[in-house]
Amino acid sequence: MSRPRKNDAALLELLADGVTVAAAARQVGMHERTAFRRLQAPAFSQQLDARKAEVRQRNRDLLNAGSTVAAKTLLRLLDEPAPPTVQLRAARAILEYAQKLHDSVNLEQRIAALEQRASEKQAA
């Protein structure tokens, strides 16, 4: 079992943020080959996967918060006196994104139903 090294935390953060292995190793004062060896250690690799998942979740949360503001902006463009071309683009964007959201929710529901059926078959 490999033990944590002094630069592991910094290396994990950089790699989770999408920095290349070579650049991350350089930034933490580690040889590139050492960084690649660290990636081969199961514990380090698992920590990196977990950290990347946290970063993805944080980014999703930020985008979700921003999407509310963006949706309100599009709706405001429909109501405020604006050139017809601006209103048309806002209307098209709203319709396009509403359809994509509908499709995404529908797909999630269908996948959940299939997973439920598969789970029930396995239990039987």
Handedness of CA 9, 38, 18, 100 (dihedral sign): negative
Chain segment 24-38, per-residue pLDDT in tens:
999 999 999 999 999
> How far apart, in whole angstroms, are the C-alpha atoms of residue 65 and residue 97?
15
> What pLDDT is recorded for position 1?
42
**What's the token pair of residue 20?**
């290349």
> What pLDDT is recorded for position 113?
94
Chain segment 79-113, per-residue pLDDT in tens:
888 888 888 888 888 899 888 988 999 999 999 99
pTM for this structure?
0.57
> How far apart, in whole angstroms, are the C-alpha atoms of residue 27 and residue 24?
5
> How far apart, in whole angstroms, are the C-alpha atoms of residue 97 and residue 53?
25
> What pLDDT is recorded for position 80?
82
